[in-house]
Amino acid sequence: MSDHFGARLHAAMQERGRFCVGIDPHASLLRDWGLSDDVAGLETFARTVVDAVAPEVSVVKPQSAFFERFGSRGVAVLERVIADSRAAGALVLLDVKRGDIGSTSQAYADAYLDPASPLASDAITASPYLGFGSLDPMVETARRHGAGVFVLALTSNKEGPEVQHASTGGGTVAGTVLGHLRALNAGLEPLGDLGAVIGATIGDSGEDLDFNGPVLAPGFGAQGGTVDDLRRIFGPVARHVLPSSSREVLSAGPDRAALRDAARRGNDAVSALGDA
């Protein structure tokens, strides 16, 4: 890759907008589309979504678990989703939320961030809760290959605060995660390669959210997050936010034109956040 991930993401958001479409083939969604809950239904769903939205948006975010549940054939569909989305010009943020230590962490990094892998993506999500240093193999592999990592920081699930808001003696766990990202992104332009996952529906975090990196903000749209919420939560760094929605777009299927229109409406809605 000729540019580091932060530069490529910044350029993509300027060219295609900042809206991220999640590709989450829930069993219930397959049924809503009139598809069977098997590999054939998964493949039809995935091909339809990619054809409709990957040429329109800057980033697509496949949720790996919904492909993995079908075993090796489901993972083969995920490989095709990644390849076809990138061929259509979208960056692929693979939502895997991996977190481990040592050689296992390195193996995850090689699986998802090394271009030699059939699952190689532009970026992944990762969990820092074995200690931020446990992510070093992912961070180093991402930098070696011009990829990115989005680290869980302030998620909007109700269970998150018991860990993320816990005190470390010098701040909160979330604040510590953001501090590590700030240090690692220092000096990178126009945007750092290491992002944070911060929910679009969280309350006032009390944290410094300026860490010179991109923010994945799931929960926009059908889950309740609005542009006003994003402005309230992120303030002057809202221009670095990548709002993500799956249900808001995917419920428009299986009609390709309707899916495309839903993705365009999402992009139009978040354009009010300003330039990246």
Show which residues are catalytic: 97
Tell me the C-alpha distance between 132 and 79, whole Å.
28
Q: State the number of CA atoms in the 13 A half-sphere of 261 facing the CB.
A: 8
Of residues 195, 276, 244, the one with CA closest to residue 60: 244
Return the structure tokens found at 41.
Answer: 């239904």
String of DSSP letters for 234-255: HGGGGGGEEEEESHHHHTTTT-
| Alpha-carbon torsion (172, 178, 184, 188), positive or negative | negative
Residue 242: is it exposed, middle or buried by C-beta count within 10 angstroms (0-12/13-18/19+)? buried
Long-range Cβ pairs for the range 204-207 (8 Å, 24+): 204/233, 205/154, 205/174, 205/233, 207/154, 207/172, 207/174, 207/175, 207/178
Return the structure tokens found at 222.
Answer: 């059908």
Tell me the C-alpha distance between 211 and 180, whole Å.
9
Tell me the C-alpha distance between 47 and 81, whole Å.
7
Tell me the C-alpha distance between 93 and 38, whole Å.
24
Instruction: Identify whether 62 is preceded by a cis peptide bond (ω within 30 of 0).
Output: no
Tell me the C-alpha distance between 202 and 229, whole Å.
9
